[in-house]
Structure 1
Amino acid sequence: MFDLLPSRRRNEDTFKSMLKSFDDVFNRDVFSPLNENFRSFQTDITEKENAYYVEADLPGFNKEDIRIDMENNQLTIHAKRDNKNEEKDNNDKIIRQERHYGEFVRSFYVDNVKEDDITAKLEEGTLKIEIPKQAPTKPTKKKIDVE
């Protein structure tokens, strides 16, 4: 026996499918195809009483490939990869060549930190940053005279 679907049910499924396609186009990130292939590195940030701790997964990077900047309360981690692998045969012809280029950048806002005491260490593909806190500065109040 045949399974028959009422025509209205089939139309509802088509309509739902069409709505889903419409939503996928307008609700996705413009760069999502790039993000799927070129993901940024994963980070964990924890806050303790005296410091913030950042752990970033950077497997395959050397410490020379990593730059950390602190400017205007923004901690920015740059990791750049520039690897080239070549395989040649006995006649010195290249039989396989692979290149891995890319730069990954993440920024985080941190406030009331001791910038001169920030430390970073790369251990087994994990970048560990300790950002010591300083006592928050109280906002000052100033009366401004109108001329």
Structure 2
Amino acid sequence: MLMRQLRESRRRFEDGLHLIALDMRSGPQHWHSMIDYLPMETEQDYLDWLSRLRALPDQLANYQGLLREGITSNRTQAQIVMARVPAQIQSLLEGSATDSPFYKAFTALPPILSQISEDNCRPRPLASSRPS
């Protein structure tokens, strides 16, 4: 079974399917939803989430590079598949940072975290976090 999965993964890569990994149901516009599956109970959980948030700019740049390579290789999603994506991305950019679904984890820290921990576990604004 593992060999079959490896062959399938290799075939998908060779076909360039990794270059079109963006649609209305998957892509960076949904990365915030992983917070629903992560434990957010300890200070370390919050620090780990902050690390993920800090890594987003580089991850998005890499993702953009793959999408550009897909355009160059004529590997793109159909327009109908992509129709909702711009609005999904726009909804992440509207409002203040605290309105962002990426901030959801910080709206109510568990009582187990002390004030000192709470200060360490809150995100600090990044100048590059929002487009100008």
Quickly name the TM-score band, shorter chain normalised. under 0.3
Relative to total residues, which structure has the larger helix share, 1 or 2? 2
TM-score, length basis structure 1: 0.22
Relative CO higher for 1 or 2, CA cutoff 8 Å, sep ≥ 6?
Answer: 2
TM-score, length basis structure 2: 0.24
